[in-house]
Amino acid sequence: MISRRDFVGGAATAALGYGATTAARANAASETTLAEAGEAAGLLYGASISEEAFADPDYFALYDRETRILTTDVALKFDWLRPSPDRFEFERADAIVAAAAKSGKLVRGHTLIWNDNAPEWLKRLSAREVERVFDRHIEVVVTRYAGRLHSWDVVNEPFWPMDGEQGGWRNGPWFAAMGPSYVERAFRRTAAIDKTAKLTLNEAQCEGDHDWGRAIRPPLARLVDDLLARDVPLHAVGFQSHLQPQWPADYAQFASWAAGFGAKGLEIYLTEFDVDDQSFPDDPAARKAAVAQTGAKFLGAILKTRAVKMLVNWQLSDRYSWYRELWRRRAPASRRKPSPLPFDDRLEPNPLHAAMIGSFLAR
Ligand code: XIL
């Protein structure tokens, strides 16, 4: 373990002055792992993981070295788990939980309830049937992993103003059948079965200072107050942290707003961190430097909040980022490849890696 004191000089400088960073400093930064630097900063560091890691031993080894906690990327999403009404396909999630246990890592379950990712069969059911599926899904899935997860994203993305629902709620089968009460129901039913997982309300877009972020923050804060006032077992708020620097952002303002959840006794998790580089230059080196700078700016602001206990990247290497697929769809003719993560295609550290370590150790 490299101590915070030994390390803080080199890595912090590397992150701050990225444009002028020497190769020597970058190398020094890449010698420590994100897990180690996170630990020195009181931060649990991890990444989401999917089947690709099990088919690519080098990628798997990177998780082994760099992370302390793994998030099930798609494995526990409703449509992946429930291709038909009577099937629960647990193989993917079981493999992640078993691998984590073997290497002493923690696991986050993502996501138990989400109004997105509904299979066609669910959409065809009546409201009463949807409620029954909801309760049974929670019972079966939570029971299977009870006591083995660090935390559960019990509800993902409760708000989605674009759906046009009053109050900004995200629409979908659960909301349509139960209205806003599905949130409380999910938390209470999960807590009744799993007594140790930290139960998390995970939300998107709050990091940005754009119409979307501004529309979601107030109802999210009201929902949290309401749940706490009624003693609903809620332990943490998750901010996805898919940074989109093409839109306005004020990370200091986000950080002071987020700190309010800490003041209510909740932990704060940054659950899906990556940096969308679509507005940055084509030149890969310039683009990666801009990604690192954005990451350092965000982390520099939000990590001042002591209630932030965890940072998770959405995958670990650019090779497997969800932005690759989004980019292929958005710009099929482009040869440019998004680079939103701490490791590049060859699994070598990107400038973002050193920037993250610098931000952790400057905490
Ligand atoms: C992503 C997955 O990683 C992709 O494989 C899939 O195609 C789309 O969803 N917010 C979330 C995650 O909460 O579940 C999403 O994951 C990324 C955005």
**309 contacts 43 by C-beta, under 8 angstroms:** yes
**Residue closest to 126 by CA, chosen among 80, 178, 86, 83:** 178
Nearest by Cα to 294 from 247, 346, 240, 327: 247
Q: Model confidence over 291-339: pLDDT tens digits? A: 999 999 999 999 999 999 999 999 999 999 999 999 999 999 999 999 9
Pocket test for ligand 1, best of 48, 74, 269, 316 (most atoms within 8 A of CB): 74
Residue 28: pLDDT band by 50, 70, 90 thresholds? low
**pLDDT tier for residue 16 given thresholds of 50, 70 and 90:** very low
Of 343, 302, 325, the residue nearest 206 (C-alpha): 302
Confidence check: pLDDT of 89 > 90: yes
Quote the percentage of the chain above a pLDDT of 70: 92
Q: Could you read off the pLDDT of 133-146 as tens digits, one per residue?
A: 999 999 999 999 99
196-228 pLDDT, tens digit each: 999 999 999 999 999 999 999 999 999 999 999
Per DSSP, what are the bridge partners of residue 243?
275
Output the pTM of the full model. 0.93
Closest CA to 352 of 255, 248, 243, 253: 243
Identify the pLDDT of residue 31: 83
CA of 67 to the centre of ligand 1 (A): 19
Q: Look up residue 131 and give its two tokens.
A: 């409620």
pLDDT beyond 60 at 155: yes
Strands 236-239 and 267-275: parallel
Residue 150 has pLDDT above 70, yes or no: yes
Question: For 69-80, what is each residue's pLDDT tens digit?
Answer: 999 999 999 999
Q: Helix 23-31 and helix 4-16: axis angle, to 10°? A: 140
In angstroms, the CA 358 to CA 363 distance is: 9
* CB of 173 closer than 8 Å to CB of 130: yes
The pLDDT of residue 3 is above 70: no
**Residue 334 CA: distances (Å) to CA of 319, 324, 341:** 16, 11, 19
Best of 117, 322, 325 to mutate for ligand 1, by most ligand atoms within 8 A of CB?
322
State the DSSP string of 49-65: E-HHHHH-HHHHHHHHH
* 152 Cβ closer than 6 Å to some ligand 1 atom: no
Q: Where does the pLDDT of residue 30 fall: very low under 50, low under 70, confident under 90, or very high at 90 and above?
A: low
Q: Is 71 in the pocket of ligand 1 (CB under 6 A)?
A: no
pLDDT per position as a tens digit, 177-186: 999 999 999 9
Question: 17 pLDDT exceeds 90?
Answer: no
Q: Mean pLDDT across the chain, nearest whole number?
A: 93
Reduced to 3 states, what is the DSSP secondary structure of residue 21? coil
Tell me, using a 6 A CB cutoff, whether residue 67 lines ligand 1: no
Using 50, 70 and 90 to split pLDDT, how confident is the model at 9? very low
| Two structure tokens written together for 195 | 């007594």
Task: Considering only residues 2 and 282, tell me which one the structure prediction assigns the higher pLDDT.
Answer: 282
